[in-house]
Amino acid sequence: MRVPVKYILRSSSSRRLTTIFTMLGIALVVFVFTAVLMMAHGVQQTLRSTGSDDNVTVVRKAAMSEIMSIIDREAAGIVTNMPEVARSGDGRPLSSKEVVVIINLGKLGAAGISNVTVRGIEEAAFQLRPKVRIVQGRMFEWGAREIIVGAGITKRFVGAQLGEKIKFGGDLWSVVGIFDSEGSGFDSEIWGDIHQISDAFKRSSFSTVTFRLKNPEDMTELVSAFETDNRLQYFVPKREKKFFEEQSEMMAKFIRILGVFITIIFSAGATIGAMITMYGSVANRTVEIGTLRALGFYRRSILLAFLAESLVLSLAGGLVGLALASVLQFFTISTLNFGSFSELAFSFALSPSIIAGALGFALLMGLLGGFLPAVRAARLNIIQALRAV
């Protein structure tokens, strides 16, 4: 004989304040758990969507980020003339030799400065990254000290608005356009003409060379071509997507380790909270439990009833926490990415696996917190329980 579901639901609402407190405790834990995972996921998603699988980025060996990479003109020329590089209709290579530098800009509405990536590009850069579109103003003029600014930067930095001027490399640069790249890492960059940028920073070499692979499966041949060519021995080709993903690793790892540590500790607290409530619930209803047993309910039915009560409580808490966390999706935050050493704007991102993980986690807390009290309830002696005051 099973204890009716209605009884289970009614009993958790009979002591409302205690139920709400326990539920809130679990909700807070689930909120933090979800928020942390969403943050790590957001960083990764942003950088993953920055690169494309069809593109290859060539960097200097051991360079962890674009700013540390140096490719001399000769090597860059060899790379763009390789047979694996796709070509446009007029036979020019679909490649962009780029200079990547970091400048400091003051934050809007807050004290302090941060590092912003400036990328000097060649014309093919837009074909290589079709997601990038000018959403305001116009494209910069080749050969002029003009720049276009990513949507994530224009909102947050002094002087990065349309029509303003930014000073770097000994010159004033006019912001003539704002571009958007569908939430990828390029949104946190400033783009200009490669010749202008390298002239301003007196660079005679490039940072990276990015090109479209003629045949996306040619990666292994490309790697071996680099290994066998003596002139290219200091450089390594990487799929662009993988290259940017690697830059998110350090940040995502830190957030995850911190998150996991904190949530394990938190969940211990919330489980104890649930346990206190459930023990209290058992103690309060000793007579009731005795009556149920006298009416013929089995011990295991009682066990299940109390366990179910605890699970209902934790599931409700989990849903509240998840609902709160999902609101975070509307926020974009920015922080220093240690992988590239520059500012990166990203949003909290929810994924089905995070939802499942959060709810599973809530249920686990309910199960752990409810099990011992439920066992106690089931093991009560009928006569003594009925006599209890």
Q: Which parts of this chain interact with other proteins (CB under 8 A)? A: 15, 17-18, 21-22, 24-25, 28-29, 31-32, 35, 39, 60-64, 67-70, 101-104, 107, 110-115, 168-170, 201-202, 204, 234, 250, 253-255, 257-258, 261-262, 265-266, 268-270, 272-273, 275-277, 279-280, 283-284, 333-336, 341, 343
Residue 99: φ, ψ to 5° = -110, 130
Q: How far is the CB of 267 from other proteins (least distance, A)?
A: 9
- Distance, in Å, from the CA atom of 95 to the CA atom of 54, rounded to the nearest integer, reads 12
Strand spans (E) along 138-296: 146-150, 165-168, 171-180, 189-193, 208-212, 235-239
Q: Which residue, 234 or 298, is less far from other proteins as judged by CB?
A: 234
Closer residue to other proteins (CB): 113 or 319:
113
29 C-beta neighbours (distance < 10 Å), count: 28
Q: Report the run of H or E that residue 257 belongs to, with start and end.
A: helix 240-284
Please state the closest distance from residue 312 (CB atom) to other proteins, in A: 17
Residues 6+ apart with CB under 8 A from 374: 278, 282, 302, 303, 304, 305, 306, 307, 310
- Shortest Å, Cβ 110 to other proteins: 7
Q: Closer to other proteins at the Cβ: 6 or 202?
A: 202
Q: In 20-170, at which residue ranges do the beta strands (DSSP E only) sit?
A: 55-60, 95-106, 113-121, 133-137, 146-150, 165-168
Nearer to other proteins, 264 or 356 (CB): 264
Q: Tokens at residue 379, please? A: 């093991």
Q: How many residues does the chain have?
A: 389
Taking Cα atoms as reference points, which of 246, 221, 277, 215 lies closest to residue 340? 246
- Give the shortest CB-251-to-other proteins separation in angstroms: 9
User: Which CB atom, from 177 or from 273, has the smaller least distance to other proteins?
Assistant: 273
| Least distance (Å) between residue 13 CB and other proteins | 15
Residue pair 155/334 in contact (Cβ under 8 Å)? The answer is no
Q: Which is nearer to other proteins, 129 or 156 (CB)?
A: 156
- 66 is written with which tokens? 């674009």
Cβ proximity to other proteins, 19 vs 52, nearer residue? 19
Minimum Å distance from CB 316 to other proteins? Answer: 15
Closest CA to 184 of 115, 247, 140: 247
Give whichever of 7 and 201 is closer to other proteins, judged by the CB atom. 201
Q: Which residue's structure tokens are 């942003």? A: 46
Q: How far is the CB of 235 from other proteins (least distance, A)?
A: 10
Rounded CA-CA distance 366/313 in Å is 7
Residue whose CB is less far from other proteins, 67 or 85: 67
Using CA atoms, how far apart are residues 13 and 20, in angstroms rounded to an integer?
9
List strand residue ranges (DSSP E) for the chain, in order: 55-60, 95-106, 113-121, 133-137, 146-150, 165-168, 171-180, 189-193, 208-212, 235-239, 332-337, 342-347
Q: Please state the closest distance from residue 28 (CB atom) to other proteins, in A.
A: 6
3-state secondary structure (DSSP) of residue 108: coil
CB of residue 218 to other proteins, shortest distance in Å: 26
Minimum distance, C-beta of residue 377 to other proteins, in the bound complex (Å): 14
Nearer to other proteins among residue 93 and residue 317 (C-beta) = 317
